[in-house]
């Protein structure tokens, strides 16, 4: 805990210095990416198959599955998934597919049930996915239920979030995948938070949408009347945790840290963190407060994606006044992403498809984007060689 506070103070000191010197963290050189990288359907297929279907992805919050029998069904990159809290308290993930004839057991959405009963012929599965009932068994015939059940997916609940690998049988080791980032996520205590509001946003290509979450360069231009009212633009720190990032954004009031002795600095006072978990989560949250957690998923085609925005708080608003404040914050953030960030990305998609440019350029200040794409390229190879991992 002390060590984390020290690490955050180091970031604050870097941000303060950047603010005073009109600098920001930088890569060694300007880089370019071909527009085909964003448009190519084969590449997109590899990203879906090798990244989204093989790496741990975050599919839910502990608070979405509070009680025994609570479930959440969703379709993620073509895969029907159901998360469910068992009577032993464990969160599990299954393919949401009946083994009789393949019916989807639950429509996408959340609910609660003791057993999963297929809507077609009423085969029944218990809270651990085991097949426990066959309707009209005497007429169906002698079918051995032993060892049969739903296909379970690797699933781990850590730091208040439920992580799943969409391919059965693949290893899931969050300790090694998240590394030190897991310590920061656990420190936030998201497992004690509650969702105030959840919304869906549609957008264009997932990589183009993702670019906006790691880019501090655009804040004062695109978000002049929204995010830039509290956050400065282009005054950033970029710290890598393997493929995951912790990006520091100086707040408009960062200069106040000069007047406060470092020993009295408080995490997130004068600056904000956006943490990204590869390949698809962005957390713009503070300990004790909460904030916005976004899950970004590729859509059914290369030019589509969608985002689940969870406005998740350490303490839900209790009074009308608190609710009004929370509603205003939700609307401001939702509007900034929909009408500012994602409106730009939809334009970018059309701009790239027009063939007007063959490549895009990332400045030395766009370090988060450079890292993001290095890791996407790394993981979308058939068998990535650990020795070739991008440099932190």
* Chain residues that interact with ligand FES, rule: CB under 6 A: 98, 100-101, 103, 118, 120-121, 123
Contact 44, 298 (CB under 8 A): yes
Query: Residue 125 or 217: which CB sits closer to Fe ion?
Result: 217
Q: What SS3 class is residue 154?
A: coil
The option from ligand FES, Fe ion, none interacting with 341 (CB < 5 to 8 A, set by class) reads Fe ion
The option from Fe ion, ligand FES, none interacting with 98 (CB < 5 to 8 A, set by class) reads ligand FES
Contact 268, 291 (CB under 8 A): no
The option from ligand FES, Fe ion, none interacting with 364 (CB < 5 to 8 A, set by class) reads none
What is the smallest separation between the CB atom of 151 and ligand FES, expressed in angstroms? Answer: 14
Query: Residue 239 or 341: which CB sits closer to Fe ion?
Result: 341
Torsion angles phi and psi, residue 168, rounded to 5: -60, 140
Q: Does 212 bind Fe ion (CB under 5 A)?
A: yes
Give the orientation angle of helix 180-188 with respect to helix 2-21, to 10 degrees: 100
CA angle 378, 382, 388 (to 5 degrees): 35
What is the smallest separation between the CB atom of 72 and Fe ion, expressed in angstroms? Answer: 28
In angstroms, the Cα distances linking 215 to 111, 205, 238, 251 are 37, 16, 10, 15
Q: How many residues bind Fe ion (CB under 5 A)?
A: 2
Query: Residue 120 or 334: which CB sits closer to ligand FES?
Result: 120
The option from ligand FES, Fe ion, none interacting with 68 (CB < 5 to 8 A, set by class) reads none
Query: Residue 101 or 258: which CB sits closer to ligand FES?
Result: 101
What is the smallest separation between the CB atom of 101 and ligand FES, expressed in angstroms? Answer: 4
The continuous run of DSSP H or E covering 111 comes out as strand 109-112
Query: Residue 156 or 341: which CB sits closer to Fe ion?
Result: 341
What is the smallest separation between the CB atom of 111 and ligand FES, expressed in angstroms? Answer: 18
x/- letters, 334..363, toward Fe ion (CB under 5 A):
-------x----------------------
The rounded distance, in Å, linking the Cα atoms of 155 and 57 is 10
Torsion angles phi and psi, residue 218, rounded to 5: -90, -10
The option from ligand FES, Fe ion, none interacting with 103 (CB < 5 to 8 A, set by class) reads ligand FES
Helix, strand, coil distribution of the chain in percent, nearest 5: 35, 30, 35
Greatest pairwise CA separation for the chain in angstroms:
81
Query: Residue 34 or 229: which CB sits closer to Fe ion?
Result: 229
Which residue lies nearest Fe ion, judged by its C-beta?
341
Subset of residues 123 to 182 that bind Fe ion, contact rule: CB under 5 A: none
Q: Does 234 bind Fe ion (CB under 5 A)?
A: no
Q: Where are the alpha helices (DSSP H) in 121-255?
A: 137-140, 174-178, 180-188, 206-211, 219-222
For the chain, what is the radius of gyration of the CA atoms?
22
Query: Residue 81 or 283: which CB sits closer to ligand FES?
Result: 81
DSSP state of 388: G
Q: Does 303 bind Fe ion (CB under 5 A)?
A: no
Which tokens sit at 143? 């079918």
Bridge-based pairing of strands 57-61 and 161-164 is antiparallel
The option from Fe ion, ligand FES, none interacting with 100 (CB < 5 to 8 A, set by class) reads ligand FES
Binding residues for Fe ion, per CB under 5 A?
212, 341
């Amino acid at each position: 805990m002390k060590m984390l506070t020290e690490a955050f103070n180091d970031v604050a000191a870097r941000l303060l210095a950047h603010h005073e010197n009109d600098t920001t963290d930088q890569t060694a050189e300007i880089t370019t990416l071909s527009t085909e990288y964003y448009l190519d359907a084969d590449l997109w297929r590899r990203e879906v198959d090798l990244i989204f279907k093989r790496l741990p992805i975050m599919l839910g919050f502990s608070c979405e599955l509070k009680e025994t029998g609570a479930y959440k069904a969703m379709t993620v990159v073509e895969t029907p998934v159901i998360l469910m809290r068992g009577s032993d308290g464990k969160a599990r993930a299954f393919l949401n597919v009946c083994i009789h004839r393949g019916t989807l057991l639950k429509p996408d959405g959340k609910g609660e049930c003791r057993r999963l009963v297929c809507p077609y012929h009423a085969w029944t599965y218990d809270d651990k996915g085991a097949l426990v009932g066959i309707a009209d068994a005497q007429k169906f015939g002698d079918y051995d239920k032993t060892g049969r059940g739903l296909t379970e997916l690797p699933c781990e609940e850590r730091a208040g979030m439920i992580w799943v690998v969409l391919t059965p049988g693949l290893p899931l080791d969050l300790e090694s995948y998240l590394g030190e980032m897991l310590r920061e996520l656990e420190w936030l205590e998201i497992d004690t938070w509650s969702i105030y509001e959840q919304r869906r946003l549609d957008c264009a290509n997932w990589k183009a949408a993702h670019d906006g979450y790691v880019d501090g360069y655009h804040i004062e231009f695109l978000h002049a009347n929204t995010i830039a009212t509290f956050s400065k633009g282009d005054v950033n720190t970029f710290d890598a945790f393997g493929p995951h990032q912790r990006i520091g954004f100086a707040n408009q009031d960062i200069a106040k840290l000069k007047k406060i002795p470092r020993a009295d600095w408080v995490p997130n006072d004068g600056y904000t963190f956006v943490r990204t978990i590869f390949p698809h989560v962005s957390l713009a949250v503070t300990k004790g407060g909460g904030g916005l957690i976004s899950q970004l998923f590729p859509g059914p085609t290369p030019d589509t994606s969608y985002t689940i925005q969870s406005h998740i708080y350490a303490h839900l608003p209790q009074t009308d006044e608190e609710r009004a404040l929370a509603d205003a914050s939700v609307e401001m953030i939702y509007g900034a992403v929909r009408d500012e960030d994602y409106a730009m990305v939809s334009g970018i998609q059309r701009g790239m498809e027009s063939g007007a440019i063959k490549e895009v350029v990332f400045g030395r200040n766009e370090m988060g984007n450079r890292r993001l794409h290095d890791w996407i390229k790394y993981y979308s190879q058939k068998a990535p060689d650990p020795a070739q991992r991008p440099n932190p």
